[in-house]
Amino acid sequence: MKKLELKELTFAYEEAPIIKDINLHVDQGEIVSILGPSGVGKTTLFNLIAGILPVQEGKIMVDGLDNPKGKVSYMLQKDLLLEHKTILGNVILPLTIRGIKKVQAVQEADALLIEFGLDSVRDAYPHELSGGMRQRIALLRTYLFGHDLFLLDEAFSALDEMTKMTLHDWYLNIHKQFKLTTILITHSIYEAIKLSDRIYVLNHKPGQIVAELNMDWKNAEQPELAKLQYKEEILNRLGLKSS
């Protein structure tokens, strides 16, 4: 079942074209990456999907319906945690915004902090946490906005490599456990290959999809060799040479 579908999506700022004729879909339960260099319209694409920008040409459908505004959970690169609030105070914000009473919001947040493995930091403040832990809290808060379609805009890019690898494994487990659907913007070929069921490669100006790749390296006889072959294919589609 298609959770998200974009058809012939084109957008320009004033007279400057940003993306052109974007066709893509994300099936229920998938993780799909949008991979490409800076300036090809990846964040513009997300802002259109989230309803922040108006559709000019083409269609965006979530669960088969037009107008996705208010139907997605959107997480930016920065965690945007409120420093003056405890972790619990940050986590319950989406619930109170949705009109849930504080007592019920705290109960729901406490249960999810346990499920996400974050209950030990319930009463801490953001400045007391590592970058990886802050991103986990931000992802939980994003989940509590109540939409199972996640837009992650470079959500792991600010972390060091070791923390990033750990968080990738954690997110794959959370994604499966909570039956999420994720579309991820990234500059990292490694990250896209590691996390994704499929990858759309975006290139050129205005941004256009130049490849759609199915990630089946886990079923290959030599998974690491298969990942290297995908990397080569992506670099080739971007007009780059591997080092």
Report pLDDT digits (tens) over 179-225: 999 999 998 999 999 999 999 999 988 999 999 999 988 888 898 89
- pLDDT class of 242 with cuts at 50, 70, 90: low
In a domain, 149, yes or no: no
Report pLDDT digits (tens) over 68-84: 677 788 887 777 889 99
Closest CA to 48 of 239, 156, 183, 148: 183
Domain count, the chain: 1
In a domain, 3, yes or no: yes
In a domain, 20, yes or no: yes
pLDDT at 127: 93
Neighbours of 95 (CB within 10 A): 22
Domain assignment of residue 15, given as a range: 1-24+49-68+200-213+236-243
Cβ–Cβ under 8 Å, residues 209 and 201: yes
Alpha helices, DSSP H, located in 51-179: 87-91, 93-97, 102-115, 131-143, 161-177
In a domain, 163, yes or no: no
More confident residue, 19 or 243: 19
CA distance 65 to 83: 37
In a domain, 229, yes or no: no
Q: What is the mean pLDDT of residues 138-150?
A: 86
In a domain, 60, yes or no: yes
> Can you give the pTM of this predicted structure?
0.89
For the chain, the average pLDDT equals 89
In a domain, 53, yes or no: yes
In a domain, 62, yes or no: yes
